[in-house]
Amino acid sequence: MTAKSNWLENAVLEHFLRNNTQSAVTPYIGLFLTANPGEDGSGGSEVSGPVGTTGYERQACGFSAASGGAVTNGGDIAWNAAITAWGTIVGFGIYDAASGGNLLYYGDFNTPRVIGIDDIFVILAGNLDITEL
């Protein structure tokens, strides 16, 4: 299940009901350990550390055209091989920046996955579903 952040809820309202345009963004996927962030973007524990020491960084992602209130990732999303053990990946956050930025959506993975040294985390094309309820 995915949820929309407070920031995105406000951006949608501003855009459609107050005619305040929002710029298009490149979505970046971050991976979370133990818990996801909340609607306000706080909390959760994103995998961290400089790329050169952990191998982790958020990945840019493209999505399919919206249909039936949903989109899916258009291609595989693959992270670099872990240089250090990342831990158990339980969920994701979609942001408008490669680091920092605003949380847009977040959700849990159906099956958590432990990432150890040299493991590569991949979300196959069509397996990341974002649905508006």
| Amino acid present at 72 | T
pLDDT value of position 2: 73
Confidence of residue 96 (pLDDT cuts 50, 70, 90): very high
- In this prediction, residue 51 carries a pLDDT of 65
Mean pLDDT of the region 75-100: 95
pLDDT confidence band for 50 (50 / 70 / 90): low
The domain tally of the chain equals 1
Domain that holds residue 87: 2-131
Percent of the chain predicted with pLDDT > 90: 65
